[in-house]
Amino acid sequence: MILGLAALSLCLSCGTVEPVSKGPRLSGEQIYRRQCIQCHGENGEGVKGKYDERLVGDWSIDRLTKVIAKTMPEDKPGTCTGADATAVSRYIHGAFYSPEAQAHNKPPRIELARLTNRQFEHSLADLLKSFTGDTAMGNERGLSGTYYSARGFRADKKIFARTDATVSFDFGEATPDDAKFTKEEFSAQWFGSVWADETGDYEFILKTENGSRLWVNDTEKTLIDAWVSNGQRTEYRATLRLLGGRAYPIRVDWFKFKDKRASIELRWRTPHGVAQVIPRSHLLTQRATPTLVVTTPFPADDSSAGYARGVAVSKQWDEAATQAAIEVANKTLVQLETLLRTASATTNRAQKAREFCGQFVERAFRRPLTAEERNIYVESQFVQPGPLENSVKRVILRALKSPHFLYPALTAAPRDDHAVATRLALSLWDSLPDAPLLQAAVAGQLRTREQVRLQAERMLKDPRAHAKLRDFFHHWLDLDKGESVAKDPKVFPEFSHELAADLRASLHRFLDHAMWESSGDYRQLLLADYLFVNERLATFYGSAKLTNGLGFEKVAVDASRAGVVTHPYLLATFAYADNTSPIHRGVFLARHIAGRSLKPPPNAVQFKDKEFKPGLTMREKVTHLTSAADCMSCHSIINPLGFALENFDSLGRYRTHEQGRPVDVTGDYATLDGQTLRFASARDVARHAAESPHAQRQFVEQLFQHTTKQAARAFGRETAAVLWQGFAQADCNVPKLLAEIAVTAALHDTTTKTVAK
Amino acid sequence: MNALARRQFLKGLGVSAAALPFLTGLPSLGLGATGQRKQRVVVMFSPNGTIPTAFWPDATGADFQLKDILSPLAPFKDQMLVLKGISNKVRGDGDSHMRGMSCLLTGTELFPGNIQGGSHTPAGWAKGISIDQELKNFFQSRPETRTRFGSLEFGIGVSDRADPWTRMSYAGPNQPVAPTDDPYQMYQKLYGQLRDKETLRSILDDVREDLRKVASKISAEDRRLLEQHAEFVRQMEKELTADDGRKYRATPPTFTAGVANQNDNVPALSRMQVELMLNSFVNDFARVATLQYTKSVGQARMGWLNITDNHHTLSHESDGNKDAADKLTRINKWFCGELAYLVKRLSETREPDGQGSLLDNTLIVWANELGKGNSHTLDNIPLVLIGGGLGFKMGRALDFKGTAHNRLHLALAHGVGHHIKTFGSPHLCEAGALSLA
């Protein structure tokens, strides 16, 4: 929804106009055709050279009327007022201006889309995993450590085994236990898994003066081989790409032999973090199986609609997808013996290779193959003479470059069950259906809403669903911006990258807790009276003392704070390097939290602090800067939201004064339905967003789009409203909403365009 | 040597010559024929010392006779230099094997460390760059001698471990360079992309057919997306077929599939690596190469010579054990035979720019970690130079009476025009480069 009429400055002269005064009352449409059409076009599409923009937006008829009466026609404002203005407003609102009118005129449809990058990489990871197998991770944190009294890790030299919370030891010139080890020589091995929250490059670091080796996500090849030491404490580094929301096997071998001192630290730097010892919270004693992670870089997906979609292809994308397919084929060939469960000499190797290829293609296409397809995609590739590996490589390449893999919606009618499974898996996991889901499809158990809901609830428990929701929050809270938060060291010397990394982790911890460990209530996201802090954050923000100092703890905050609205990470992100920014915060709250739509500003005016009289508060500066009428059409929404957060400085710390003057956070905010709310605190804003039906509906729609990669309206005009009603009745439970969205999309019958009951 | 049962290797070889940008026939002017002759250096390594009485010629000068171990090189006697009296004088941490290996090409001491040899103090990696990497850097720094890889490190039966016994090349202090002892892996490094491209090209037509079939069944608006996609596939096909401007002189060697990286296959693996090295030189992928047979303390069991004892174990037998001496002689003669094969292949292959044979423009240095296995002496390192690449005066046996091997490295550097004053430990370079021209 867009704010249309507000950009008044772009409307050029409309030419001669007939005054509307005497004579019989004209209809709204008639007035429009006489007075407005020259600039705004027949259906509000705009006229080049006069008013280029489409007449669409989310204002109420009332508001439109007021604006028309005050400012239209442009060259003679005040000549279309009263009943005339109301009539015109009603007409355009119903004919083409409102979202409903837009949807009616051109109903959105489910567009053909390719896999998004995230779906591509997770599908491939799970495709290979379906052959190599997976392990349940359990909950025990830390790594399993075994300690030996000699190098070589021989069983007869084992002294003890235990779970270590982290691998961070400095024995100095001594040993883990002087009664059991000799100073000259001892060693240890640690096994387990490391948990990656986000997708990206992870830098692993072994810091030691002794010999060590590190394996991550590979049980054969080392990531770091620093076996040969030189007696100096050294940091050995290597970078590895990992997919977020998954566990990866990790192993450390370490030994001391005649070095003077002994120490070892297992550290990492996560994609947006700072280097630190890998914390207990991200170590698991259970060893995961390796995951295939595609390392080929992809161009970013189209995000013009506010979420990543696969509605466009480009040369770069095609090249990347091809390179990735080659990468997967080569990596698969390396493990071929294991995958085929053969030694190279086995006589039925060709047979096993064909079977493997058949399964590979079926799983990639997410449905069984017809006999003809099996021939095309599998058998025909084995006809040419040459080594088996070449055939397998061709099969894999062909399958992964096929539209049946890349465009998951391309399923023919007879395979509806598999289409349901495909859509469910993409919605909840951005990946392929797993074995139980495929079995349900084959058994015809994905027909009713209840059956599909049962599967969805099972799938919600999988870490991939948590990762998908986390990905949604990444967009909903505009977290991309936070990745490059920087503050002026002269103004805020206390700011550091460590602090920013901790804040980011704190926000993620909060989201995980609120959604999966607590009530899952959307309103809690906005109104929660607690934060997660570690030692550094507790000190910085002056919250209660921590009890166990083992990472992040939940602490209560006072009523000045409210959920994500006042989370310091977001407050710091949407602020200048040396000051707050009510405009950035206001825009964020308007678009993301309050569900308003805002067009880009007609004149891009930069905020230059120097240009203001010294001693003005930020509020005063912003008010002055945005006081012009053209600005006010949007800023009357933005400013009260932004000002409400002025109690929090550029680092998100609470304050009552700014440069000695008291902070004024009050503001009047006009809702869409014409109400005016008075905000006097951040909590007021949060309460409005939490309880406003409009904001809730916007949340539902945004989650829908992110989940299905399609507009909600494409699934029926009432779909979003129905989902919202269910959401409201279920105490605004977000995971349940996610499941309902997935179920709705999965069962949607594309041929008859109705939503399954 | 480890039986590498779990080791995966790529089978499925051969890049079809028809599909690739290979030139055959007469030399073309476009192939770097600047008039300047190419210069190449190869260092070949074999372990555990030699049997001096079966190795060193009795006389020095141009009139020397080849003894048993060196007899396979008889056809190239006039292109050889046998250098006696050169010692590895590097001391410091590490036992003789470790220093024999990791100080051989670096000429500098090892870091103190945590790897314990059979004696002496434990050690870490070498403290400096090795001569092959030094030459590589020199060549890569000049456009006229720059190549795709600069240097290629070949191995045969090296083993999976990285320690001072398995590494003789160093890019710098604490920076060992690992040899690739899997010829399929080396092939992949040199030609993998080409092979991927060929496989890709063979399926693109089918992919376009898929897109066409699918597009015919969907709505008009959706069809547009698939049509765009098909257009990119078509473009990719065109680009793969088009000449990318790079021309290769020689097609890559054809390997049989399934030669496992195991002790018994060492002869086959050796020949595969030599062919790849030859091919790399013809296509000018590199001007420096190393060829490392096993490693320091290597335990090759040469069943193909009817020897069932392990090499290093044999090398510790006393001089009086005639049986052991005989076996060790045959082992070293086998290594020499592999060298002779490399030399023969270089001598019978013309330079692409027509300036002589590859051997004319290459200098091979065959070196060892020790002078003699059972004494661990680092004196009289068995050294043979062969080929015309550095313009030395060949066809002689020389005796330097116990001088530091750093001086040989200086001679190699000077031979390619890299006029460094010292290499490795400076105090071992005081007498300057060996005069070999």
At B312-349, the pLDDT tens digits run 999 999 999 999 999 999 999 999 999 999 999 999 99
Convert the pLDDT of each residue in B241-250 to its tens digit.
Answer: 775 556 788 8
Q: Is A379 on the interface with B (CB under 8 A)?
A: no
For CA atoms B333, B337, B338, B343, give the dihedral sign.
Answer: positive
Estimate to the nearest angstrom the gap between the alpha carbon of B4 and the chain centroid.
21
Return the residue in A208, A224, A230, A398 with the most chain B beta carbons within 10 A, the one to mutate for interface testing.
Answer: A230
Strand residues in A640-737 grouped as ranges (E)? 657-658, 661-662, 667-670, 676-679
Q: Which pTM was predicted? A: 0.84
Confidence check: pLDDT of A8 > 60 = no
Of A114, A228, A257, the CB nearest to B163: A228
Confidence check: pLDDT of A118 > 70 = yes
Q: Which of B167, B132, B173 is nearest to B152 (CA)?
A: B132
Which two tokens mark A309?
A: 């979609």
Confidence check: pLDDT of B12 > 80 = no
Give the chain B residue nearest A334 (alpha carbons). B8
Return the residue in B93, B125, B199 with the most chain A beta carbons within 10 A, the one to mutate for interface testing.
Answer: B199
Give the chain A residue nearest B116 (alpha carbons). A257
Confidence check: pLDDT of A548 > 90 = no
Give chain B's mean pLDDT.
Answer: 89
Cα–Cα distance measured from residue A12 to residue A689, given in angstroms and rounded to the nearest whole number: 37
Cα–Cα distance measured from residue A398 to residue A412, given in angstroms and rounded to the nearest whole number: 20
- A141 pLDDT band, cuts 50/70/90, is very high
Q: Which of A626, A629, A637 is nearest to A585 (CA)?
A: A637
Q: Are A389 and B12 an interchain contact pair (Cβ–Cβ within 8 Å)? A: yes
End-to-end CA separation in angstroms for chain B: 40
Nearest chain A CA: its distance from B8 CA (Å)? 6
Confidence check: pLDDT of A6 > 70 = no
Confidence check: pLDDT of B31 > 50 = no
Chain B residues whose beta carbon lies within 8 Å of the beta carbon of residue A710: none
pLDDT of residue B15: 54
Chain A residues whose beta carbon lies within 8 Å of the beta carbon of residue B221: 109, 111-112
Strand residues in A217-275 grouped as ranges (E)? 224-226, 234-242, 246-257, 262-269
**In this predicted structure, which of A37-41, A201-205, A730-734, B168-172 has the lowest mean pLDDT?**
A37-41
Chain A residues whose beta carbon lies within 8 Å of the beta carbon of residue B192: 330
Of B8, B122, B217, the CB nearest to A334: B8
Percent of chain A with pLDDT over 90: 62
Of B164, B211, B226, the CB nearest to A228: B164
Return the residue in A209, A340, A378, A401 with the most chain B beta carbons within 10 A, the one to mutate for interface testing.
Answer: A401
Which residues does A67 contact at the CB level (< 8 Å), separation at least 6?
A5, A6, A59, A633
pLDDT of residue B7: 28
Return the residue in A110, A209, A228, A346 with the most chain B beta carbons within 10 A, the one to mutate for interface testing.
Answer: A228
pLDDT of residue A751: 52
Nearest chain A CA: its distance from B210 CA (Å)? 7
Q: What is the mean pLDDT of residues A86-110?
A: 84
Estimate to the nearest angstrom the gap between the alpha carbon of B101 and the chain centroid.
15
Q: What is the mean pLDDT of residues A115-144?
A: 95
Count Cβ–Cβ pairs < 8 Å, chain A vs chain B: 128
Chain A residues whose beta carbon lies within 8 Å of the beta carbon of residue B13: 387
Q: Using omega within 30 degrees of 0 as the cis cutoff, is the peptide bond preceding B426 cis?
A: no
Chain B residues whose beta carbon lies within 8 Å of the beta carbon of residue A259: 114
Cα–Cα distance measured from residue B295 to residue B159, given in angstroms and rounded to the nearest whole number: 8
The angle formed by the CA atoms of residues A197, A200 and A204, to the nearest 5 degrees, is: 85
Chain B residues whose beta carbon lies within 8 Å of the beta carbon of residue A329: 199
Confidence check: pLDDT of B6 > 70 = no
Q: Are A315 and B210 an interchain contact pair (Cβ–Cβ within 8 Å)? A: no
Estimate to the nearest angstrom the gap between the alpha carbon of A133 and the chain centroid.
27
Nearest chain A CA: its distance from B343 CA (Å)? 32
Chain A residues whose beta carbon lies within 8 Å of the beta carbon of residue B117: none
Nearest chain B CA: its distance from A526 CA (Å)? 40
Give the chain B residue nearest A384 (alpha carbons). B202
Q: Are B214 and A401 an interchain contact pair (Cβ–Cβ within 8 Å)? A: no
Convert the pLDDT of each residue in A625-642 to its tens digit.
Answer: 998 877 888 898 999 999
Chain A residues whose beta carbon lies within 8 Å of the beta carbon of residue B257: 387
Return the residue in B191, B201, B222 with the most chain A beta carbons within 10 A, the one to mutate for interface testing.
Answer: B222
Estimate to the nearest angstrom the gap between the alpha carbon of B365 and the chain centroid.
11
Backbone torsions φ then ψ of A187, nearest 5 degrees: -150, 170
User: What's the complex ipTM?
Assistant: 0.81
**In this predicted structure, which of A254-268, A543-557, B104-118 has the lowest mean pLDDT?**
A543-557
Give the chain A residue nearest B10 (alpha carbons). A334
Chain B residues whose beta carbon lies within 8 Å of the beta carbon of residue A393: 12, 199
**In this predicted structure, which of A243-257, A402-416, B135-149 has the lowest mean pLDDT?**
A402-416
Q: Is A319 on the interface with B (CB under 8 A)?
A: yes
Confidence check: pLDDT of B402 > 60 = yes
Convert the pLDDT of each residue in A11-39 to its tens digit.
Answer: 333 444 444 555 677 888 888 988 889 89
pLDDT of residue A12: 38
Residues A529/A559, Cβ–Cβ less than 8 Å: yes
Q: Are B229 and A403 an interchain contact pair (Cβ–Cβ within 8 Å)? A: yes
Which two tokens mark A608?
A: 């230059």
Cα–Cα distance measured from residue A102 to residue B248, given in angstroms and rounded to the nearest whole number: 61
Task: Kindly list the distances between the CA atom of residue A610 and the CA atoms of A381, A614, A646, A662, A663, in Å, as whole numbers in the listed order.
Answer: 70, 8, 20, 21, 20
Chain A segment 108-167 residues within 8 A of B by beta carbon are 109, 111-112, 114
Q: Which amino acid is at A567?
A: H
Q: What is the mean pLDDT of residues A82-110?
A: 85
Of B114, B229, B236, the CB nearest to A257: B114
pLDDT of residue B83: 97
Q: What is the mean pLDDT of residues A639-659?
A: 93
Chain A residues whose beta carbon lies within 8 Å of the beta carbon of residue B195: none
**In this predicted structure, which of A347-361, B9-23, B104-118, B147-161 has the lowest mean pLDDT?**
B9-23
Of A229, A314, A326, the CB nearest to B200: A326
pLDDT of residue A613: 87
Confidence check: pLDDT of A5 > 50 = no
Cα–Cα distance measured from residue A365 to residue A359, given in angstroms and rounded to the nearest whole number: 10
Which residues does A665 contact at the CB level (< 8 Å), separation at least 6?
A643, A644, A645, A646, A647, A679, A680, A681, A682
For CA atoms A159, A163, A164, A167, give the dihedral sign.
Answer: positive
Of A258, A313, A337, the CB nearest to B232: A313
Nearest chain A CA: its distance from B233 CA (Å)? 8
HEC states along B203-256? HHHHHHHHHHHHHCCCCHHHHHHHHHHHHHHHHHHHHHHCCCCCCECCCCCCCC
Which two tokens mark A249?
A: 């096997």
Confidence check: pLDDT of B8 > 60 = no
Of A225, A337, A394, the CB nearest to B162: A225
Q: Are B225 and A312 an interchain contact pair (Cβ–Cβ within 8 Å)? A: yes
β-partners of residue A161 are: A146
Helix (H) or strand (E) holding B112: strand B110-115
**In this predicted structure, which of A742-756, B46-60, B61-75 has the lowest mean pLDDT?**
A742-756
- B30 pLDDT band, cuts 50/70/90, is very low
Nearest chain B CA: its distance from A7 CA (Å)? 33
Chain B residues whose beta carbon lies within 8 Å of the beta carbon of residue A228: 113-115, 124-125, 162-164
Chain B residues whose beta carbon lies within 8 Å of the beta carbon of residue A211: 114-115
Query: CA-CA-CA-CA torsion for B95, B101, B104, B105, nearest 10 degrees?
Result: -140
Residues A32/A96, Cβ–Cβ less than 8 Å: no
Which two tokens mark B142?
A: 């000049």
Which residues does A435 contact at the CB level (< 8 Å), separation at least 6?
A130
Q: Are B6 and A220 an interchain contact pair (Cβ–Cβ within 8 Å)? A: yes
pLDDT of residue B246: 64
Chain B residues whose beta carbon lies within 8 Å of the beta carbon of residue A220: 6
Of A318, A389, A397, the CB nearest to B10: A389
Residues A401/A325, Cβ–Cβ less than 8 Å: yes
Radius of gyration of chain A (CA): 30
Residues A233/A256, Cβ–Cβ less than 8 Å: no
Chain B residues whose beta carbon lies within 8 Å of the beta carbon of residue A333: 10, 12
Chain A segment 341-360 residues within 8 A of B by beta carbon are 344
Q: Which of A259, A91, A84 is nearest to A174 (CA)?
A: A259
Q: Which of A546, A502, A545, A510 is nearest to A530 (CA)?
A: A510
Q: Are B226 and A407 an interchain contact pair (Cβ–Cβ within 8 Å)? A: yes
- A550 pLDDT band, cuts 50/70/90, is low
pLDDT of residue B35: 64
Task: Kindly list the distances between the CA atom of residue A269 and the CA atoms of A118, A212, A275, A276, in Å, as whole numbers in the listed order.
Answer: 22, 19, 4, 7
- A601 pLDDT band, cuts 50/70/90, is confident
Give the chain B residue nearest A342 (alpha carbons). B6
Q: Which of A5-14, A68-77, A524-533, B255-264 has the highest mean pLDDT?
A: A524-533
Percent of chain A with pLDDT over 70: 94
Confidence check: pLDDT of A182 > 50 = yes
Convert the pLDDT of each residue in A409-457 to its tens digit.
Answer: 875 554 489 999 999 999 999 999 999 999 999 999 999 999 999 999 9
**In this predicted structure, which of A355-359, A438-442, A671-675, B37-41 has the lowest mean pLDDT?**
A671-675
Q: What is the mean pLDDT of residues B396-416?
A: 97
B155 vs A8: which has the higher pLDDT: B155
Residue appearing with tokens 């001096």: B52
β-partners of residue A276 are: A268
Q: Are B203 and A333 an interchain contact pair (Cβ–Cβ within 8 Å)? A: no
Q: Which of A135-149, A403-417, A595-609 has the highest mean pLDDT?
A: A135-149
Confidence check: pLDDT of B25 > 70 = no
Chain A residues whose beta carbon lies within 8 Å of the beta carbon of residue B122: 257-258
